[in-house]
Amino acid sequence: MSELCPATAAELAQALADAASRNQKIRLGGNFSKPGTTAGDVSISTRALNRVLTFEPKDLTISVEAGLPYAELTQLLNRHQMMIPLDPPWSAQATIGGVVAANHSGPRRRLYGSARDLVIGMTFATLDGQVIQSGGMVVKNVAGLDMAKLMIGSYGTLAAMATINFKLIPKPAGSRTFCLTAPTLEAAMQKRDEILRGVLQPVALDLLNPEAAELVGLPAQWSLLLQAAGNAALLDRYSRELSAGQMIGEEVWPRVQEFTPMFLAAHPQGRVARFSTTLTDVSEPYRVWRGPMIARAATGVLYGYSERPLSLPAGLKMVIEYGEALMPWAQTGSDYSAMKRVKQMLDPKGLLNPGRLYARL
């Protein structure tokens, strides 16, 4: 398979249009760091679209090309005490475009949100060779349709992102991490409820079952990991109010963030399932899952890890994120036909990343 690496948005649009005119299936990506990318007749990578276009520290905004490595972007922002706290897996290899296309997020989304909250503008190239703009470089903007929302999490099945604009979050003065352990799932959920109903505003609140806790280097117990951020007086307050927990090192977070790549490296045939639940139902996937499981316990997204194919629970909203899709996106709702119409409009021949997006659209 030949690989094209266009270096401008216009070249990207041209590459897409050329492939479409030849009815070629397109494998579209950045660094192709995530497993599950599909085969195609032609491969188009955004890795040469790797520039920072505008960085306005005083406006707390940045515009970057989609192929910019996430790690490079993070380092640049770090130097200015700023951040785009998406905390995605494969953070050392991924491009920012890949992170947004997969709608990857991490532990700190409780406070800072996910890509849909941090992206303020975007350009994307379509199969008919056009470059389309959504939003802009200001933090508040309702002119035109918010088409960027469609691109976030679309796994490159609609169009190819060329540039992405973000609002930036100032880095807090400091942070502290606490681990609260519990003998049972119910006891852990009760501790979580107490935190959610209190006035503390944790940056992150993850629940790990004993299997997952062990794999990130903690004792094999039900573990609530809480990150607090802010000034010293604020962190001291967290220490006082969470005295039942134990203060642990910040180095636990990269292990949580990179759990999926770590697991798949150890178990190439493994499966990663992603569940969406309400806050009260965060406990439900745990009841049916055998294997490590990590929950964004204050958000309602859970990741379950299995070493081998398994029969999947009915009645829960879930998809197979990585590994062979045994049950591709089982439940589709009344909006499925509308999604298909969107796909049909932008990619009528089904050329873009066929089989991605949980092998449905």
Partner 1 sequence: MGVVGPNGFLDQPHDLTLYEYDGGVDKHKPDIVVFPRSTEEVAAIVKIANQHNLPFVGRGAGTGLSGGVIPRAGGVMISFAKMNRILEIDLMNERCVVQPGVVNLDVTLAVQGEKYFYAPDPSSQRACTIGGNVAENAGGPHTLAYGVTTNHVMALELVLPDGSIIETGGKEPDLPGYDLVGLFTGSEGTMALVTKITLRLMRAPEMVKTLLAIYDSTEDCGATVAEITARAITPVAVEMLDGPMLRMVEEATHAGYPMDAAAVLLIELEGLKEAVEEQVEQIREVCQSCRAREFRVAKSAEERDLLWKGRKNAFGAVGRMSPFYYVQDGVVPRTQIAGTLKKIGEVADKYGLSISNIFHAGDGNMHPIILFNARIPGQLEAAQHAGEDILEHCISVGGSITGEHGVGMEKMELMSKQFPPETLDMIAKFKNLFDPQCRLNPGKLLPTGRGCMEIRQRPLTEKTAV
* DSSP secondary structure code for residue 296 in this structure: E
25 versus 167: smaller Cβ distance to partner 1: 167
Neighbour count for residue 300 (Cβ, 10 Å): 16
Among positions 49, 77, 94, 132, the unique one binding partner 1 when judged by CB under 8 A? 132
Site string for partner 1, 25-54 (x = CB under 8 A): ------------------------------
CB of 325 closer than 8 Å to CB of 359: yes
Q: Which stretch in 25-33, 89-97, 123-131, 258-266 sits in contact with partner 1 by CB under 8 A?
A: 123-131
DSSP-based three-state secondary structure for 217 = coil
What are residue 271's DSSP bridge partners? 306
Q: Rounded to whole angstroms, how far apart are CA atoms 244 and 52?
A: 45
Site string for partner 1, 87-106 (x = CB under 8 A): ----------------x-x-
Q: How far is CA 338 from CA 101, 143, 174, 205, 353, in A?
A: 20, 23, 45, 34, 19
Backbone region of residue 6 per phi and psi (left: phi > 0; alpha: psi in -120 to 50; beta: other values): beta
Q: Which stretch in 2-10, 69-77, 149-157, 182-190 sits in contact with partner 1 by CB under 8 A?
A: 149-157
What are residue 306's DSSP bridge partners? 271
75 versus 332: smaller Cβ distance to partner 1: 332
Q: Give me the least distance between CB of 90 and partner 1, in Å please.
A: 18
Among positions 5, 48, 71, 147, the unique one binding partner 1 when judged by CB under 8 A? 147
Which residues ranging from 174 to 233 are in contact with partner 1 (CB under 8 A)?
193, 196, 199-201, 230-231, 233
Q: Give me the least distance between CB of 173 and partner 1, in Å please.
A: 9
Question: Is residue 4 at the binding interface for partner 1, with CB under 8 A as the rule?
Answer: no
> What is the size of the binding site for partner 1 (CB under 8 A)?
80
Q: Give me the least distance between CB of 1 and partner 1, in Å please.
A: 27
Question: Is residue 152 at the binding interface for partner 1, with CB under 8 A as the rule?
Answer: yes
Q: Give me the least distance between CB of 317 and partner 1, in Å please.
A: 6
Question: Is residue 153 at the binding interface for partner 1, with CB under 8 A as the rule?
Answer: yes
Q: Which stretch in 65-73, 84-92, 218-226, 234-242 sits in contact with partner 1 by CB under 8 A?
A: 234-242
Q: How far is CA 273 from CA 102, 207, 304, 312, in A?
A: 14, 16, 5, 9
Question: Which of 358, 314, 351, 356 is closest to 17 using CA atoms?
Answer: 351
Q: Which spans in 62-129 are helix H? A: 70-79, 96-101, 109-112, 115-118
Question: Is residue 1 at the binding interface for partner 1, with CB under 8 A as the rule?
Answer: no
The 61-65 sheet, strands edge to edge: 52-56, 61-65, 160-167, 119-125, 131-135
Tokens standing for residue 22: 């030849």
Question: Is residue 81 at the binding interface for partner 1, with CB under 8 A as the rule?
Answer: yes
Q: Rounded to whole angstroms, how far apart are CA atoms 152 and 118?
A: 11
Among positions 45, 46, 277, 306, the unique one binding partner 1 when judged by CB under 8 A? 277
Which residues ranging from 307 to 346 are in contact with partner 1 (CB under 8 A)?
317, 319, 329, 332-339, 341-343, 345
Among positions 66, 68, 158, 205, the unique one binding partner 1 when judged by CB under 8 A? 158
* DSSP secondary structure code for residue 6 in this structure: -
